[in-house]
Amino acid sequence: MGESFAAVPGTPAALMYNPAGVARVKGLSASYAQRQYNWISWMDERRYQSVTVTVKTPIVTLGAMYERDYYGDFNATTAYSPDGTGTGKAYDHLLGLGAGISLGEHWDIGLAGKMFDRVVSNSGGSDFSLETTPAFMVDAGVIYRLYREAAENHYDETFTAGLSVQNIGTELTGRFSVRTLAMISTVATTMPRYLRVGVAYALTKQPAEGTGLVPFQLLLTGGARYLMNWAALGMTRNRVGVGFGADGLIYELLSLRLGVQKIPDNSVYVPATNDWTLRFGAGLSFPFRLVGLDTPLILQGEYAAIAVDDYLMFTDYIGPRPTTKSLLHDFSISLRYEADLIH
């Protein structure tokens, strides 16, 4: 979908883009996703993982998410043992708690608090250590919704527009020390602050009898992400990311998804040509009522592929590097109970 989710309501993934989007999540949902970043040989172990849980209450919808960007294992060495004394792991992780509420028929608002930290753990006597103080941040968003129900042809239309600000808060700070050199230095990582805007249009064909499976649903999205603190991050060009997407759902069973995105320089997928990237995927859903169970439980699995260029811009300093993959893969699974559990 080109990461154009700022105006998409009713999905747990909204916590990552616009917390107002969780306001219309139904019942209880839980999801897990994993994405590979192994586009270059020495990043074969790098992967991104996330877990999201949302629950609707009579007043607000509450959500929690955990994200981990795992860089892989490395050899722990010292000046006296250059061949290694053990292994270590390095990863960034984020914990977020959010809430969304509907203010009448048209407006949804949301707020989320997040903690971001970096971990370097060693199982051997490493020559260096990193002690960090996490970054604490806040996201806030709003979504405006227009809904039109057509009684004659059974097509419902929904138009939404969304806006959110992300990562407003403190820096990640740390103390880096090298024992053999008796060196201690303080490091700080400025968190990227984003302004997201987006629009979405959903067309839903309702069952003629008002019951049974929805025959067809189409979702079209568009969005932009602006890096607000580009100067502090040293970004001199390409500070805006733009994306568009389309998602079609057939009889609540099969979904097909397509997206394009022009990526800003601080993304891990930046093509050296600074061109558009393509994303596509498919999903399978299983409503348990298909087997005669009187329950609103739905199990869903999705796969997405991210096409990468022959060269990606690793950093402005290192420059473009050849890729070893033509596609990166994303897998997710979710379980939704689309009825109120808390009355």
42 in a structural domain:
yes
4 in a structural domain:
no
154 in a structural domain:
yes
Would you report the helix, strand and coil content of the chain in percent, each value rounded to 5? 5, 60, 35
For the stretch 196-240, pLDDT in tens is: 999 999 999 887 665 578 889 999 999 999 989 888 877 766 688
State the pLDDT at residue 318: 45
For the stretch 22-47, pLDDT in tens is: 999 989 999 999 987 766 666 667 78
2 in a structural domain:
no
| 295 contact partners, CB below 8 Å, separation of at least 6 | 288, 289, 337
Q: Which residues of 56-84 are buried (b: 16+ CB within 10 A; e: fewer)?
A: beeebbbbbbebbbbbbeeebbbeeeeee
6 in a structural domain:
no
19 in a structural domain:
yes
| DSSP calls for 278-300 | EEEEEEEEEEGGGGT----EEEE
CATH for 189: 2.40.160
Which pTM value belongs to this model?
Answer: 0.85
What's the burial of 236, exposed, middle or buried (CB within 10 Å: 0-12/13-18/19+)? exposed
188 in a structural domain:
yes
Q: Which residues of the chain have pLDDT under 50?
A: 313-318
Q: Which of 287, 269, 286 lies closest to 278, judged by CA?
A: 269
Q: What are phi and psi of 16, to 5 degrees?
A: -85, -15
Query: Can you give the length of the chain in residues?
Result: 343
State the pLDDT at residue 81: 55
Q: Which domain holds residue 73?
A: 12-337
What is the DSSP code (8-state) at residue 48? E
Q: How far apart are CA 245 and CA 224, in angstroms?
A: 12
Instruction: Report the 10 Å Cβ neighbour count for 274.
Output: 14
7 in a structural domain:
no
- The number of domains in the chain is 1
Contact 263, 243 (CB under 8 A): no
State the pLDDT at residue 161: 96
